[in-house]
Structure 1
Amino acid sequence: MTQRRVLLQAAAGTLLFTLVPIAASAKTANMVAVRMWPAEEYTRVTLESDAPLQYKHFFVRSAKPLRLVVDIEGLALTEGLRRQIADVKADDPYVAAIRVGQHSPGVVRLVMDLKTEVKPEVFLLKPFGDYQYRLVFDIYPEHPRDPVGRILAGMAEDDDPMGDLLGEASSTDGDPLGDIIAGLGKDTSPPKAAEKPKSTAGASKPASKKSPKLIIVVDPGHGGEDPGAIGRRGTKEKTVVLAIGKRLAQLINAEPNMRAIMTRSSDHFVSLGGRVQIARRAKAHLLVSIHADAWVKSTARGSSVFALSQKGATSAAARWLAKSQNESDLIGGVNIANVDKAVASVLVDMTSSWTIGYSLSLGSAVLGEMKRINRLHKAQVEQAGFAVLKGQGIPSILVETAFISNPEEEKLLKSSAHQNKLARAILTGIKKQLAADPTILNS
């Protein structure tokens, strides 16, 4: 094995970012696909091939714009590869353009023109599921944006998302929980105007600067490299659950004493640990993870709600579903070498019997509303070891809105009207549970 060090001769300011050994390949690798996932948090560029790629990457800082250069040995530069690169739409905050060329015999050079200073993470993924070998570039900004921090900063002056909820009486009878509970119990149906957040904001009575907020994390499953289940008409789970999640977040934010924080608001991958970290940083009171089920038989149908189990799954189907959902990191692609140990550690079971009990009650309330708009797959809340619920330490439910593998339900999931019904049903269930048992407000 030899090691090559190549710098651009004309770039006096070139900084070699990393160097990996390059060995003669046993055979030429063929590019299967080139994909790009733009997002505010980071941009992911994935090169999928039928054999492992030998590569090195470095910055050309003297160039304008700043460039990230990737040299790949043993890759054939074909017209197909040129078209794959040309098809990539670099409409994101960090990458202005991508181009490819034959740098030298046996070496293909990929150049990314950057819009700003970045900190890329580069790693290889072995074949898993439907994917072959993947070379992944996660391009993070030099100065990361913090959407969770911005939301929390707008909610309260201090670090407590509940503001002065327990510090002052907010109702005439001296009960500090009075106002928020009263607001939850008067009408368990979200206002129709909530479908149009702009007009609702003007019509609703705004909360005061120190008004208490119940923080609900809305977690649309999958995203980016991880499509989730795929319907027979090609509908992707990640797409419909993101649409439902956005509608639910809009409805929640239309409530004067609630605030929604989404784990993702675009088509990009968020690891299970990353989802947990968002909820913990937000000091959330509830988490709702949204999914769309699938089964080998297209006749399977109906909505389901799941909570975490400390004693194993309540059914074989629940155990299978939890296993498939927990494989999201392997499908979406996580840089294992750089996983924050603190984040990884929160995926252990942090729940208490009270948390699970409240989750089951919350799930029952949501299930009761779901049956008004769709058949139920199971009449009771099921339980299994879902990692995204396990690491929260707060009441959390996973809602399987419908079977995307069922053609009729796949069609419903794509419908804006049905997405609204699903979002309303979830929020109505949350409000009914909070009105029946407000103890979560003290957590």
Structure 2
Amino acid sequence: MNKFKKIIACFIILFSVITHAENTKLIAMQIAHKESATQVTFVRNQLDTQRIFSLSRPKRLVIDFPRTRFTTSIKTISLTNTLIKNIRYGYPKSGTLRVVLDINANSQFKILSPSYNTKLIIAIYSSATQTTLIKPSAPPLRPIVVVIDPGHGGKDPGALGFLGTKEKNVTLAIAKQLVDLLNQQPRVRALLTRRGDYFVPLRDRLKLARKANANLFIAVHADSYFNTEAGGASVYALSQHGATSEAARWLARRDNYSELGGVDLSELTDQSYLLRSVLIDLAQTATITDSLRLGTIMLSKLRTVTTLHYSRVEQAPFMVLKSPDIPSILVETGFLSNTKEERHLRDKNYQTKIAQAIYDGIRIYLQKNSLDHTGT
């Protein structure tokens, strides 16, 4: 029983540490006064939300930032000739940063920035005066990065059809059209892991996605099977077995720790194997869940173009799906071993339809996850 209590105690401590491993950092706070209005700008290292409200007696403006750490300084901020009397911050509950501004009693405020942004801009002004609020230029926002991975290439042709069609050529043709569609949309940056007929090792494809800070990873493939009647599109996400083996690899490589899901693991006080394994497991679980959501949407769009080989998202330990914090799916566009589907897959018009279906799936996923900067 004592041993059991110790285990429980360890996990309570561990949970407390984990809940303070916030994803977002408040990296700067700026105050400027112009035309009878005080503008306050909060800068974060990544997109996130906030909760803003006011309190009276005394008049206060309160901003709660979830999953956020305060990493800048307020000591150098001058409040001279502003409508702010004092600034303080704290953590009213685990993981939530609260910044409190003591403002003049007759002051009002207006939010000038979008709700989901790296910058929060607030104008504070006196209700007794008519004032033109400061109109900030639109802050630059981090693009949504989507990495498209055309399967195989170079010395690795992939599946071969009876008509001589090579998978590597089909996947590249579809992927190029898909990237063109994505890059026509504002705030979206689509990248290819290969742009021509050459071989890229699987691990290098993952490294490219991590280097680009990818939000999504989509691998494009074509299937093959000994049963030539097999047909239809499929979508795969990472299996738990694949996740477990990848977690072990991450735990063995300390140089990857600072890259996990925006959490700087190297800054944690506790660098134990157990804590790192729990954090990696949490990231993988969330990522697989998001991948399954993306895959389900993708199937609904592929269904409008072709039949489905599997009606639900399948899971497998594919190497290219193993990024622990980037939602990733593999799309099998059809079977080259099926002569009818091979003819479709080598047809440019059909490739366009497949690319459009995959694009639509990505767009809807981004909309449903509050990342809709792709247009409609």
Q: Deviations over 1:224-254 (max 9, x none)?
A: 0000000011100000000000000000100
Who is 2:319 aligned against? 387
Who is 1:218 aligned against? 148
Deviation at 1:172, TM superposition (A): 7.7
Unaligned runs of 5+ in 2: 1-43, 51-109, 119-137, 244-252, 260-276
1:352 is paired with a residue whose SS is helix
CA contact (8 A) 1:285 1:440 kept: no
Q: Deviations over 1:300-354 (max 9, x none)?
A: 00000000011479xxxxxxxxxxxxxxxxxxxxxxxxxx9979xx9x9875111
Who is 2:358 aligned against? 426
Q: Deviations over 1:154-204 (max 9, x none)?
A: xxxxxxxx9975599xx988543389xxxxxxxxxxxxxxxxxxxxxxxxx
Amino acid at match of 1:276: L
Higher relative contact order (CA 8 A, sep 6+): 2
Q: Deviations over 1:52-88 (max 9, x none)?
A: xxxxxxxxxxxxxxxxxxxxxxxxxxxxxxxxxxxxx
Deviates more, 1:222-231 or 1:209-218: 209-218
Deviation at 1:391, TM superposition (A): 3.3
2:240 is paired with a residue whose SS is coil
Say which of 216, 223, 229 aligns to 1:293.
Answer: 223
Who is 2:182 aligned against? 252
Amino acid at match of 2:298: V
Say which of 226, 234, 251 aligns to 2:164.
Answer: 234
CA contact (8 A) 2:117 2:141 kept: no
Q: Percent identity?
A: 42
Who is 2:274 aligned against? none
Q: Residues of 2 paired with 1:376 and 1:395: CA distance?
A: 22
- Aligned residue runs from structure 1 range 188-227, under 5 A: 210-227=140-157
Q: Deviations over 1:124-151 (max 9, x none)?
A: xxxxxxxxxxxxxxxxxxxxxxxxxxxx
CA contact (8 A) 2:157 2:167 kept: yes
Q: Residues of 2 paired with 1:231 and 1:172: CA distance?
A: 58
Q: Residues of 2 paired with 1:282 and 1:419: CA distance?
A: 26
Say which of 260, 269, 293 aligns to 2:199.
Answer: 269
Who is 1:331 aligned against? none
Say which of 303, 307, 317 aligns to 1:375.
Answer: 307
User: Quick check: which has more Rg, 1 or 2?
Assistant: 2
Using a 3 Å threshold, how does the CA distance of structure 1 residues 380 and 173 change in structure 2: closer, same or farther? farther
2:222 is paired with a residue whose SS is strand
Say which of 328, 352, 355 aligns to 1:396.
Answer: 328
Who is 1:177 aligned against? 116
CA contact (8 A) 2:224 2:335 kept: yes
Q: Residues of 1 paired with 2:295 and 2:111: CA distance?
A: 32
Amino acid at match of 2:174: I
Q: Deviations over 1:242-301 (max 9, x none)?
A: 000000000010011211111000000000111011001001000000000000011000
- Are residues 1:436 and 2:368 paired? yes
CA contact (8 A) 2:146 2:189 kept: yes
Using a 3 Å threshold, how does the CA distance of structure 1 residues 269 and 164 change in structure 2: closer, same or farther? same
Who is 1:113 aligned against? none
- Aligned residue runs from structure 1 range 312-323, under 5 A: none
Q: Deviations over 1:11-30 (max 9, x none)?
A: xxxxxxxxxxxxxxxxxxxx
* TM-score for both structures, normalised by structure 1: 0.46
- Aligned residue runs from structure 1 range 85-164, under 5 A: none
* TM-score for both structures, normalised by structure 2: 0.53
2:196 is paired with a residue whose SS is coil
